[in-house]
């Protein structure tokens, strides 16, 4: 069978994703997390009498904790397969990737298991974030001077 024919059959047999449905699910789940973030921020600012920027740090830590805990309890993996980017793009996805790597590699030992593998997926986010922040920061200092 020549290559084009094979590719044709593969394209036909691959299950079609319902783009509109997936998009709406991601939109509503992501939007709900955004509302939750804003609500937690105002709640902490009101409860502890702190400024909005300090409350935002508590809010991000709360969401990370929830992401970790729900991954441990086994709910989060099912929700991620349902909502996809609605849960991966918010900071919960960052926590989920770390937590699932830590759980998965724990049996390989403390150093070579958890230590070496916990940042496997989250590491790419940190590395590219830092490199691009450095590059764009230099650019901004050169263009605008601060």
* Residue 7 is a binding residue for another protein (CB under 8 A): no
- Beta carbon nearer to another protein, 6 or 39: 39
Q: In this complex, which beta carbon is closest to another protein, that of residue 64 or of residue 116?
A: 64
Task: Assess 84 for contact with another protein (CB under 8 A).
Answer: yes
Contact 95, 67 (CB under 8 A): yes
Residue 116 engages another protein in binding (rule: CB under 8 A): no
What distance lies between CA 116 and its chain's CA centroid? 20
Can you say whether residue 95 is alpha, beta or left, with left for phi > 0 and alpha for psi between -120 and 50 degrees?
alpha
State in angstroms the smallest separation of the CB of 73 from another protein.
7
- Convert residues 22-61 into a mask of x (bound to another protein by CB under 8 A) and - (unbound): xx-xxxxxxxxxxxxxxxxxx---------x---xx-xxx
* Cα 114–chain centre separation: 19
User: If binding is defined by CB under 8 A, does position 134 make contact with another protein?
Assistant: yes
Q: Least distance in Å: CB of 36 to another protein?
A: 8
Choosing from 8, 46, 77, 82, the residue that interacts with another protein (CB under 8 A) is: 77
- Rounded to 5 degrees, what angle do the CA atoms 45, 58, 93 make? 135
Closest distance between another protein and the C-beta of residue 3, in Å? 18
Q: Shortest distance, CB of residue 8 to another protein, whole angstroms?
A: 18
Own/partner pairs, 22-26, CB within 8 angstroms, 24+ separation: 22/84, 25/82, 25/83, 25/84, 25/86, 26/83, 26/84, 26/85, 26/86, 26/89
Does 103 bind another protein (CB under 8 A)? Our answer is yes
């Amino acid at each position: 069978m020549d290559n084009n024919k094979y590719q044709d059959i593969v394209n036909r047999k691959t299950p079609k994703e319902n783009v509109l449905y997936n998009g709406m699910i991601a939109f509503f789940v992501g939007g709900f997390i955004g509302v939750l973030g804003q609500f937690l921020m105002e709640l902490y600012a009101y409860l502890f009498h702190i400024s909005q920027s300090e409350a935002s740090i508590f809010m991000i830590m709360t969401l990370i904790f929830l992401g970790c805990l729900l991954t441990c309890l086994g709910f989060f993996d099912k929700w991620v397969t349902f909502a996809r980017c609605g849960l991966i793009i918010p900071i919960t996805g960052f926590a989920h990737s770390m937590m699932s790597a830590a759980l998965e590699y724990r049996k390989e030992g403390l150093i070579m298991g958890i230590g070496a593998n916990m940042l496997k997926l989250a590491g790419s986010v940190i590395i590219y974030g830092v490199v691009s922040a450095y590059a764009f920061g230099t650019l901004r200092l050169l263009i605008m001077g601060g």
